[in-house]
C-alpha cells in the first residue's frame, strides 16, 4: 500500500519557509491542511494556526473572477485522473484579495486518486501593476495616434475629393502636413518597439563618428518649421567634441526626446551644447540640453526616467526620457538631471568616445 503524502515536520529547516512564494499543502481524503508557510500567511492575510487541520476548500475558499467557487470548477480530487495540477491563474478570496495560484496534484501512481494538493501562491500586486501600465500605454498610444491619423485622413480625403480646386501651394502645404503626421506616427511606433527592446535587454547600437553640429541645427530647423521662434534656441559645440561616437538613428532619438522635453516642460530658451565629459569613465562627450522652466525636483530626478512618467497634465506617452536613458546606456554612457544655469532642468547625456 502506498503511503499518503506526508509533510515533514522540519519543512522550515528544509528551506520551504524561506522561499519567496507562499505554500499551502493539504493531504488525505478529508483534504486536511497540513502546512502553510509565513509567506502564504502574508499573501492571503490569514493565519496558519486558523487553517491547519481544516478542509482546504473551506480554509481557502478560492473563487474565479466571476465569483464562482474555484474548487467546484477545478475539483482536484474527483476530476479527470490524468490531471497533475494547473498553471498559474488569478483567483480571489472572499476578502477581495487577489492571488496568483498554481496547483500540484500528488498521486501515488498514474491514474490513481489524488492524495495531496499543494498550492503555490503569489501576490497579484505585480500583475495589477503590469496591467495598469499596459492600460496606461494603450491610453497614451491611442491618444497620440488619434491626432496625426485624423490629420492624415482629413487632408488626404480633402485632396482626393477637391484636387482641382486647390492651388499648387495649397496642395504642397497639405501634403507636407500629411508627411509630418506620418513621421509622427512612425516615430511613436519606433519608440514603442525600442521600449520593448530595452525592457528585455535586446537593444543594439552601432556607434560611428558623427559630426554633431549639423544634427543640432536640424533640431532647430524642424521646430522653426513647426512654428517655434528661432531665437528660442541656442547651440554651442566645444572645442575637441565636434565629433561624437554614436549610432546615427539612436543619437537622433536621444536629441529629439531631450529637446522635446525641454520645449514641453520649459519656458524661454532651450540651450543645446556639446562639451568634454568630466565623468569617471573613459573619454567621452556630453550632450547637454537645458531649459528655463521650473526644473526637476531632486526627489523626482530618477523617477523621470521611468516608463510612463508624466509631470502634471502634460500630454505624451511618458516614454521619452525612459528611452533616452536606455539608448544612452546602450552606448555605454549615462544620463543625469542637473540644475540648469537659469534654474531650469539640465539633462546631460554622456557618449563615450570610440576606440
CB atoms within 10 A of CB 257: 23
Q: What is the mean pLDDT of residues 32-44?
A: 91
Instruction: Please write the tens of the pLDDT for every residue from 271-325.
Output: 999 999 988 888 899 999 999 888 888 878 888 887 766 655 455 567 788 889 9
Which of 11, 317, 44 has the alpha carbon at shortest distance from 193? Answer: 317
Backbone angles phi, psi at 187, to 5 degrees: -65, -40
Rg (CA), the chain: 29
Q: Cα dihedral sign for 293, 339, 287, 328?
A: negative
Backbone angles phi, psi at 157, to 5 degrees: -65, -40
CB atoms within 10 A of CB 352: 20
> CATH says 208-352 is which class?
alpha beta
Q: What does the pLDDT read at residue 105?
A: 92
Q: Which CATH superfamily is domain 16-123 in?
A: PAS domain (3.30.450.20)
Q: Let me know: does 307 contact 318? Beta carbons within 8 Å.
A: yes
Backbone angles phi, psi at 302, to 5 degrees: -95, -35
Which of 86-90, 222-226, 349-353 has the least mean pLDDT? 222-226
| Strand order, beta sheet including 284-291 | 233-237, 270-276, 284-291, 345-352, 334-339
Residue with cell 539608448: 327
- pTM score, two decimals? 0.59
Which of 261, 271, 254, 228 has the alpha carbon at shortest distance from 327? Answer: 254
Instruction: Please write the tens of the pLDDT for every residue from 110-163.
Output: 888 899 999 999 887 766 666 666 676 677 677 677 878 888 888 899 999 999
Q: What does the pLDDT read at residue 2?
A: 44
Domain map of the chain by residue range?
16-123, 130-199, 208-352
CATH number of 130-199: 1.10.3720.10, 1.10.287.130, 1.10.150.110, 3.40.50.1220? Answer: 1.10.287.130
Which of 176, 178, 23, 4 has the alpha carbon at shortest distance from 77? Answer: 4
* pLDDT at 3 > cutoff 60: no
Q: What does the pLDDT read at residue 58?
A: 93
* pLDDT at 5 > cutoff 60: no
Q: What is the mean pLDDT of residues 229-258?
A: 92
Amino acid at each position: 500500500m502506498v503511503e499518503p503524502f506526508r509533510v515533514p515536520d522540519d519543512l522550515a529547516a528544509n528551506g520551504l519557509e524561506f522561499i519567496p512564494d507562499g505554500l499551502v499543502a493539504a493531504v488525505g481524503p478529508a483534504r486536511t491542511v497540513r502546512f502553510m508557510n509565513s509567506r502564504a500567511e502574508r499573501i492571503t492575510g490569514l493565519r496558519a494556526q486558523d487553517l491547519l487541520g481544516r478542509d482546504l476548500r473551506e480554509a481557502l475558499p478560492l473563487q474565479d473572477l466571476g465569483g464562482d467557487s474555484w474548487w467546484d470548477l477545478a475539483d482536484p480530487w474527483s476530476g479527470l485522473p490524468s490531471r497533475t495540477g494547473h498553471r498559474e491563474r488569478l483567483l480571489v478570496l472572499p476578502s477581495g484579495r487577489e492571488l496568483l495560484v498554481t496547483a500540484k496534484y500528488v498521486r501515488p501512481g498514474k491514474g490513481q486518486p489524488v492524495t495531496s494538493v499543494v498550492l503555490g501562491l503569489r501576490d497579484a500586486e505585480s500583475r495589477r501593476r503590469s496591467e495598469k501600465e499596459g492600460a496606461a500605454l494603450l491610453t497614451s498610444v491611442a491618444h497620440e495616434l488619434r491626432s496625426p491619423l485624423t490629420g492624415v485622413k482629413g487632408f488626404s480625403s480633402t485632396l482626393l475629393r477637391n484636387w482641382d480646386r486647390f492651388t499648387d501651394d495649397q496642395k504642397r502645404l497639405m501634403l507636407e502636413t500629411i508627411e509630418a503626421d506620418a513621421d509622427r506616427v512612425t516615430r511613436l511606433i519606433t519608440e514603442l518597439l525600442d521600449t520593448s527592446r530595452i525592457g528585455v535587454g535586446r537593444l543594439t547600437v552601432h556607434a560611428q563618428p558623427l559630426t554633431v553640429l549639423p544634427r543640432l541645427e536640424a533640431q532647430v530647423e524642424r521646430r522653426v518649421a513647426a512654428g517655434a521662434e528661432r531665437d528660442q534656441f541656442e547651440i554651442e559645440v566645444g572645442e575637441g567634441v565636434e565629433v561624437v561616437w554614436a549610432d546615427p538613428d539612436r543619437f537622433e532619438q536621444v536629441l529629439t526626446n531631450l529637446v522635446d522635453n525641454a520645449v514641453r516642460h520649459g519656458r524661454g530658451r532651450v540651450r543645446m551644447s556639446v562639451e568634454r565629459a568630466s565623468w569617471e569613465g573613459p573619454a567621452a562627450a556630453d550632450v547637454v540640453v537645458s531649459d528655463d522652466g521650473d526644473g526637476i525636483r531632486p526627489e523626482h530626478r530618477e523617477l523621470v526616467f521611468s516608463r510612463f512618467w508624466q509631470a502634471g497634465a502634460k500630454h505624451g506617452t511618458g516614454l521619452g526620457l525612459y528611452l533616452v536613458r536606455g539608448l544612452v546606456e546602450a552606448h555605454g554612457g549615462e544620463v543625469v538631471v542637473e540644475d540648469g544655469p537659469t534654474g531650469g532642468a539640465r539633462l546631460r547625456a554622456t557618449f563615450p568616445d570610440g576606440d
